[in-house]
């Protein structure tokens, strides 16, 4: 049965109240590999409570509505869903602890045809409960591979950011831990694909893969360190397209181009020489 455009477009999301502590902030950073060199003072800023800094990418785990597309009422073939793109706009630096409200809505659905599936665009506002201040806006593109041809609008998808044609200005290699998926899942994404070997094999992978949003965060670490001197206040936005999975234990090289306040980037896995994040785009403050 084809999806109901109006029903999905107007899907009602309850507000998600999310309280997190300093421990959660540190655990998120550990999941991205921060502190792998415990003598690196730059890394310790994100995993040690004395003067702690918060990784901007932690926004993706705040006020998360859960895997709502698995709800049968959506009509979506959830087993054929892929995370296509993820974006983040920061309005204020994230506090190290607090209570936030996550407010999600579907912004559009594009029908690519029965053979090509559909694209679902969503947005989540993360709001500080106490002050009412908006902390960040998250945007996401989800590929519904099994739900095209429902008769909806068939306009073109937004063009991805074009990377410069010159060689990268700088790159940074960051290793992931063999147990990275087991740590990262404690920040809220308990999909067994990232922990259970049997589930991973059934999905066509030789072993559990890393969460795409963990890879997103590792690239965010690289951009923050190279372009912002690890000052989270200098990063305004960050967006990327997912292109291939990462296996825990692999090394992610983030290749970066700097053009004033604009940063372009992509990420590849060194062990397999494959691009895993592409068309990356970030903007800097000041």
The CATH number of residue 70's host domain is: 3.10.129.10
Residue from 184, 158, 191, 189 nearest 281 by CA: 158
Q: Identify the pLDDT of residue 114.
A: 87
| Domain-located, residue 151 | no
Query: Rounded distance, CA 217 to CA 37, Å?
Result: 18
Among residues 117, 212, 220, 280, which one is catalytic? 212
Query: Per residue in 169-214, pLDDT tens?
Result: 999 999 999 999 999 999 999 989 999 999 999 989 999 999 999 9
Query: Rounded distance, CA 255 to CA 251, Å?
Result: 13
Q: Identify the pLDDT of residue 59.
A: 98
Among residues 189, 211, 220, 280, which one is catalytic? 189
| Domain-located, residue 159 | no
| Domain-located, residue 162 | no
Same domain, 13 and 104: yes
Which range, of 124-128, 172-176, 188-192, 274-278, averages the lowest pLDDT?
A: 188-192
pLDDT above 70 covers what percent of the chain? 100
Q: Is 40 a catalytic residue?
A: no
- Higher pLDDT residue, 150 or 63? 63
Chosen domain end from 98, 128, 144: 144
Among residues 18, 24, 31, 194, which one is catalytic? 194
| Domain-located, residue 165 | no
Query: Rounded distance, CA 241 to CA 249, Å?
Result: 21
Same domain, 134 and 194: no
Q: Identify the pLDDT of residue 232.
A: 94
Range of the domain at 104: 5-144
- Yes or no: say if 54 and 95 are a contact pair by the CB < 8 Å rule: yes
- Yes or no: say if 194 and 210 are a contact pair by the CB < 8 Å rule: yes
Q: Is 15 a catalytic residue?
A: no
Among residues 26, 101, 209, 256, which one is catalytic? 209
Same domain, 128 and 182: no
Q: Is 194 a catalytic residue?
A: yes
Same domain, 89 and 19: yes
Number of domains in the chain: 2
Query: Rounded distance, CA 248 to CA 161, Å?
Result: 27
Helix residue spans in the chain (DSSP H) = 5-9, 22-31, 41-44, 180-184, 197-202, 212-228
pLDDT at 1 over 70: no
Query: Rounded distance, CA 119 to CA 111, Å?
Result: 7
Q: Is 169 a catalytic residue?
A: no
Same domain, 117 and 203: no
Chosen domain end from 144, 159, 188: 144
Same domain, 118 and 176: no
**Residues 235-258, mean pLDDT to the nearest whole number:** 98
Same domain, 111 and 189: no
Residue from 54, 58, 61, 62 nearest 126 by CA: 62
């Amino acid at each position: 049965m084809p999806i109901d455009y109006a029903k999905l477009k107007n899907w009602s999301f309850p507000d998600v109240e999310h309280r997190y502590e300093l421990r959660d902030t540190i655990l998120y950073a550990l999941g991205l590999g921060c502190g792998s060199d415990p003598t690196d003072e730059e890394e310790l800023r994100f995993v040690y409570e004395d003067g702690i800094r918060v990784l901007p990418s932690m926004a993706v785990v705040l006020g998360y509505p859960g895997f709502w597309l698995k709800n049968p009422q959506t009509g979506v073939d959830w087993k054929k869903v892929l995370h296509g793109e993820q974006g983040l706009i920061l309005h204020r630096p994230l506090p190290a602890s607090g209570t936030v409200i996550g407010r999600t809505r579907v912004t559009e659905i594009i029908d690519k045809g029965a053979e090509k599936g559909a694209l679902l665009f969503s947005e989540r506002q993360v709001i500080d409960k106490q002050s009412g201040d908006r902390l960040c806006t998250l945007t996401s593109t989800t590929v519904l591979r099994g739900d095209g041809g429902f008769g909806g609008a068939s306009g073109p998808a937004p063009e991805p950011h074009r990377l410069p044609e010159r060689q990268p200005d700088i790159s940074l290699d960051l290793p992931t831990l063999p147990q990275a998926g087991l740590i990262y899942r404690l920040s809220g994404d308990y999909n067994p694909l990232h922990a259970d070997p049997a589930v991973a094999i059934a999905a066509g992978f030789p072993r559990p893969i890393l969460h795409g949003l963990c890879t997103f965060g590792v690239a965010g670490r690289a951009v923050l360190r190279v372009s912002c001197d690890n000052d989270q206040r200098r990063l305004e936005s960050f967006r990327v397209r997912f292109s291939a999975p990462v296996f825990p234990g692999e090394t992610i090289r983030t290749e970066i181009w700097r053009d004033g306040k604009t940063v372009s980037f992509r990420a590849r896995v060194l062990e397999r020489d494959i691009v895993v994040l592409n068309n990356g785009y970030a903007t800097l403050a000041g």
